[in-house]
Structure 1
Amino acid sequence: MSRALIVIDVQESFRARPDWERIANPGIADPVNRLVRLARARGERVVWVLHSEPGSGGVFDPVLGHVRPLDGLVAALPDEPVVHKTSHNAFTTTDLQRRLTAEGVTELVVCGIRTEQCVETTARVGSDLGYRIVFVTDATTTEPIGPLSAEAIVERTEAVLRDRFARIATVAELAAEAAPSPV
């Protein structure tokens, strides 16, 4: 089985929004960096996904300069694709599925910003396309929506994905799985 890490929307556009101070984990770059290092050490594909809204005049409009990886995130290596999407999931408006199919990828590890929106939607679409999905909740973040706290949103997202669309994991669990077995 071939695995790819999909880093979704961990970009400066979110920090440029007025509600960034409401984000549950402003240090999201740290767990994502751990996943990237883990994937690279295992020889797995890393794909960077950035949300873009060309011509919108907002923080996701590429001409404003915010559609770039979040400061503090490890840099993409030259052979790691950076995919620009204009829909909530990372598949519909990109060539992501073609790339993954060409490389024989069968399992996706997903992380990023907006736990319940772009990350969850990518997990669901990926599952529908036949990929095994690992949703790394502690390498996602979101902000409260209406009466729901960020924690409640994360809990709901885990509940609706678990054993239906994805395996729920933590960064530490994936690191432990990757550790060499004692002899």
Structure 2
Amino acid sequence: MSAKRVVMIVDMQNGVFATPRLQREQCVMCINQLTQAADRVIFIQHCEEGGLEAGSEGFALLPELVQPERANYVTKTACDAFYKTELAQLLEDNGISEFVICGCATDYCVDTTIKTGASRGYAITVAEDAHTTANRAAVDAASLIAHHNEVWRTLIMPGNPVQVKSTETILGEWQAN
């Protein structure tokens, strides 16, 4: 039987958070709530030179994140968690066709993974209060997060719309099923 409550956490790593991110504590709190209620947890970790090398302190997940004993870990080198990784095979091997996504950075790796996953047919729910980013030169982090939540809500994907819900709503739906 496949897991019904799957959460995918993108790039919540020490090195990524060397740049301040909006509402880190709230984001981590929501992610931990999802992680503790999930049947399966998949951590995505970015790997690259300049502080995110595999095995480095920068590559490590934030220490305040709950990491279940049976969590899966996928290493990526691009914004897209599906690009040249074992993620699609992991999902297929475990009969996973739907998941909740959260993490960092809203406007880069989270966004790219959502769009790629939806185009591959995965049913994706974004935890709207469990992803974060940094202020950018052209726009502040809060505006980026609000903008992306709206873009994902209205993303044209006939037959497979992306859902955008609060952590509280997701947890309530999981408890009801």
Question: Greater Rg, structure 1 or structure 2?
Answer: 1
8 Å Cα contact 1:115/1:137 also seen in 2: no
Deviations 1:118-155 (A, max 9, x none): 11111101001100110112111111111311111012
Q: Specify which of 56, 59, 63 is matched with residue 51 of structure 2.
A: 59
**Structure-1-length-normalised TM-score:** 0.85
8 Å Cα contact 1:48/1:76 also seen in 2: no
What is the one-letter code of the residue matched to 1:167?
Answer: Q
8 Å Cα contact 1:90/1:122 also seen in 2: yes
Deviations 1:5-50 (A, max 9, x none): 11110111123x2x32xx11121321110010111xxxx2211111
Residue 105 of structure 1 aligns to a residue whose secondary structure is coil
Report whether the alignment pairs 1:34 with 2:26: no
Equivalent residues in 2 for 1:81-160, closer than 5 Å: 81-160=72-151
Q: What is the aligned-residue identity percentage?
A: 26
Question: Matched residues in 2 for 1:101 and 1:118: separation?
Answer: 21
**Structure-2-length-normalised TM-score:** 0.88
Q: CA deviation at 1:3?
A: 4.5
Instruction: Report the counterpart of residue 68 of structure 1 in structure 2.
Output: 60
Instruction: Report the counterpart of residue 5 of structure 1 in structure 2.
Output: 7
Residue 97 of structure 2 aligns to a residue whose secondary structure is strand
Instruction: Report the counterpart of residue 172 of structure 2 in structure 1.
Output: 176
Structure 1: tracts of 5 or more residues without a match: none
Cα distance change of structure 1 residues 180 and 160 upon mapping to structure 2, 3 Å threshold: closer
8 Å Cα contact 2:30/2:167 also seen in 1: yes
Residue 30 of structure 1 aligns to a residue whose secondary structure is helix
Number of residue equivalences: 169
Question: Matched residues in 1 for 2:6 and 2:151: separation?
Answer: 22
Question: Matched residues in 2 for 1:12 and 1:114: separation?
Answer: 13
RMSD of equivalent CA atoms: 1.7
Structure 2: tracts of 5 or more residues without a match: 156-160
Deviations 1:72-125 (A, max 9, x none): 111241x32111110101111210101101111111210001111111111101
